[in-house]
Amino acid sequence: MVTIKLPMTPQIEITLLGTGGGRFATITQKRRTAGIHIISEDLNFHLDPGPGALVYLISEGLNPQKLDAVFVSHCHPDHYTDAEVLIEAMTKGTTKKRGVLVASRSVLHGNEMRFGAAVSKYHQQMPERVIEALPDTNFQVGNINVLVTEARHTDPDTVGFRFETSEFGSFAYTSDTEYFEGVSKYYGGVRLLILCVMRPSGKPWKGHMTTNDAIKIIERAHPEQAVLTHFGMQMIFKGPAKEAGLIEEETGVPTIAARDGIRIKFGETISVQTSRKAQQGLNRFF
């Protein structure tokens, strides 16, 4: 018998290595703060590598030395802590000038709001290309066109990202932001929308999104799939899955609360898988 192997349909794999955010989720690690790893046939990059990014990349069988780019949305430790070590991995231990660093102004230069640069000048010299991410700008990384989206957070230089692919349409990441009029325009037409929802409904906190805010964005953007992540302690104790259910009920858009280590297959269809390691390590609150 001759076995014929059919070619696999190209797709993008998005791994949410960490789903925690904020000071107390970070220092307790009730949820990991390792950020998001994204890989396609032509591009391998990491988005917002907070504490634990390097360790969990390796533990999930992902090789940080194969990274082509590192994205950092703003100058808070739960988003940037492992950026420098991932840059060192991307540049083969600083032996090869390669890859791209995409980061907000505050991450690269600091700003007047007390933030110093989160990535040193030494590390900024390692990648082949450094891109300062400013709202409403476009650039190409590999085969993906990136639109930098506006965010309003306690770091005023915070940005989100919208990723446009030629084959499968777009997916986006809001980063930390409060709701503001006009934010939804950045995400209209995306198929997959990943939202940083720090707080549950009825628990507003300046500069951050609540379940109520997510409902407003999702209603207007109406993605094919919404994914909640970056949970603070109040959200963790309230139960992110319950809040996701509320959003889905209100908007009619399929919505899930991410767990540490889930993998999203983004292609002709969108599917969500929980890795065995992630399943074994689920937080005891769930």
pLDDT of residue 279: 46
pLDDT of residue 7: 46
pLDDT digits (tens, 9 = 90+) for 135-144: 999 999 999 9
CA dist 23 → 10, 153, 286 (Å)? 38, 15, 21
pLDDT digits (tens, 9 = 90+) for 22-69: 999 999 999 999 999 999 988 999 999 999 999 999 999 999 999 999
Q: Which backbone phi and psi does 55 adopt, to 5 degrees?
A: -60, -45
Rounded to the nearest angstrom, the gap between the alpha carbon of residue 266 and the centroid of all alpha carbons in its chain is: 14
pLDDT of residue 2: 47
Q: Where are the domains of the chain?
A: 12-279
Which CATH code of 3.30.2450.30, 3.40.50.2300, 3.60.15.10, 3.90.1710.10 fits the domain covering 12-279?
A: 3.60.15.10
Residue 267: CB partners within 8 Å, gap ≥ 6?
A: 9, 10, 11, 12, 167, 168
Distance CA 158, CA 139 (A): 17
pLDDT of residue 59: 94
The residues that bridge with 228 in the sheet, in sequence order, are: 195, 257
pLDDT of residue 283: 41
CA count, 13 A, side-chain hemisphere, 42: 10
Residues of the chain with pLDDT under 70: 1-9, 275-286
Distance CA 28, CA 23 (A): 9
